[in-house]
Structure 1
């Protein structure tokens, strides 16, 4: 098989709009793995709500989580690489979110924290349920035992447009990324899906031309441009399609299945 490492985004790519992996897509991924491909999920989710999809498909290996901030081994839950943020530098951003009434969560590799679990708005609680997450109450940052790898703001698209515009104008201490229509992420300046995929490929001994990446949003651009072949979903914004080498069908039309069939299994 030409492509030995296959990196798949999860939401909007692997999953349809019902947050499901279709049977057809699952079987095609399993066949690619059976023929020797190393499958890695490359997602904005944490490992705790992305590893279950690997297990559902009977796959081991790795997940690149938190948009590249933490790479985790599926079977042992070992964090093999992470980009830790400067906790003190995060404080002004959290102050801004609180002042503007913007919901946010703070993430270590395996845990997610919010200011008030019991008082979550209905739409916020629904979002966490859709993503199979249950956050804990945020303690003082200096009490966290593990490094912070990502801070995510959540809200309506026009609110996130303004948040992104506001904090992107500050001194660039972090990688500030529009990771979804309703999300803005802050991460270590070197944290990205592309950098994490490169680090994992080197660790596993794969050449760049042996890597296939499939994604659908702005946070996928770095991995699409790093991979030997970058494939954008048909439900991607135009800028993401322009960054990719090829475009496949949408996430609701088994685009991952179609791409693997065309470029790996044909």
Structure 2
């Protein structure tokens, strides 16, 4: 039987994985079955490549991955950066100043590096969950080149306040909520949808032959671009409204259910 879709774009946290960051056997088997039948599996994550590659390894798959919310498209074979959206360093100055003044934890990311000004025990636990190993960096010496993502981390209540404040700022960079406890700041053109469009063009795949599954606000552009965009049941209402269909939650093997129903 022919597959209905040639490319399957999957968000990682809250979609492919449970909230405990576990890849269940049912989801693994469904994804591998689709790949075995010819579908290209593309993981599309807010994580950097270093956090996505272990998930690809667990799936026993290889290929192209979209990381940093679309800011870096990377080959898993040789870790080559296929395309990236770099930020203008000066634009980040007010965000860094805000975090220092308000005690908000932040990190800066190039395609493969993550840097923090200081590490707290809470942040260390959080990074370990995402296979991230940040290095301490003295930002008073200036910012490194090739910056793709600036991420803040804190309680949901703290992130709600930060989000409300930053939405009033000039939109030279975009800030997007990538989870209850995270906000990412990136190049204005960086998103999963544009990265997926660029990849599809390079592969000669029509958007109608693309299925995408996600669960959060940073997945909306991807869900809207794909021929079929599917939101997880654990998604916020706005994400569900942006999708063509809704599957079960990430604790009910929603990705497996969607692949078996639509692919």
- Fold-level similarity (TM above 0.5): yes
1:110 aligns with 2:109: no
Query: Deviation per CA, 1:162-217, whole angstroms, max 9, x where unpaired?
Result: 11111121111111101110011100000001111111111111101000000000
The residue number in structure 2 matching 1:173 is: 172
Tell me the distance in 2 between the aligned counterparts of 1:261 and 1:82.
Answer: 33
Whether the 8 Å contact between 1:105 and 1:112 is mirrored in structure 2 is yes
Report matched runs for 1:1-266 at 5 Å: 1-117=3-119, 120=120, 122-140=121-139, 142=142, 144=144, 146-264=145-263
**1:142 offset after TM fit, Å?**
4.4
Whether the 8 Å contact between 1:106 and 1:138 is mirrored in structure 2 is no
Whether the 8 Å contact between 2:89 and 2:143 is mirrored in structure 1 is no
Tell me the distance in 2 between the aligned counterparts of 1:82 and 1:135.
Answer: 20
Q: Secondary structure at the match of 2:251?
A: helix
**1:53 offset after TM fit, Å?**
1.1
Q: Secondary structure at the match of 2:146?
A: coil
**1:143 offset after TM fit, Å?**
5.8
Q: Secondary structure at the match of 1:249?
A: coil
| Aligned pairs, number | 260
With normalisation by structure 2, the TM-score equals 0.96
Gaps of 5+ in 2: none
Q: Secondary structure at the match of 1:50?
A: helix
Whether the 8 Å contact between 2:8 and 2:210 is mirrored in structure 1 is yes
Q: Secondary structure at the match of 1:253?
A: coil
Gaps of 5+ in 1: none
Runs of 4+ in structure 1 off by over 3 angstroms are 139-143
